[in-house]
Amino acid sequence: MTEDAHSFVYRHTIKADAIDERRISLPEKKVYGILYDIKGNAASSMQFYLTDSADHFIRGALYFSVKPNKDSLAPVIGFVRKDIENMINTFEWK
């Protein structure tokens, strides 16, 4: 994990209720990383990074252009979470 990806996520601890980390390991595709699920009224509710541990790195974050409200955004976050998880699980390096 790069320190920059980690520090971007943990800047949200001021507003976050919790930050859950889920390790990603798809060795057959050489895809490794972490998916961060940020709970509460933080500016970003999901972030991730993927790497092949040698040459490639990609980082993503989900932000909304509105004041964070976990109750109002929960249905949308749940919907987008499925898309992000699908993208991660089907990710391949070119």
In a domain, residue 94? The reply is no
Residue ranges making up the domain that contains 53? 3-89
In a 10 Å sphere around its CB, with 0-12 CB exposed, 13-18 middle and 19+ buried, how is residue 5 labelled? buried
Q: Full-prediction pTM beyond 0.85?
A: no
The reply to whether 23 falls in a domain is yes
Q: What is the per-residue pLDDT for 58?
A: 94
Residue 3's pLDDT is 52
Cα separation, 68 vs 58, whole angstroms: 25
**Domain assignment of residue 48, yes or no:** yes
Give the pLDDT confidence score for residue 19 in this predicted structure.
83
| Average pLDDT of every residue of the chain | 85
What are 44-73's pLDDT values in tens digits?
889 999 999 999 999 999 988 888 788 888
- How many domains, in total, are found in the chain? 1
pLDDT of residue 90: 96
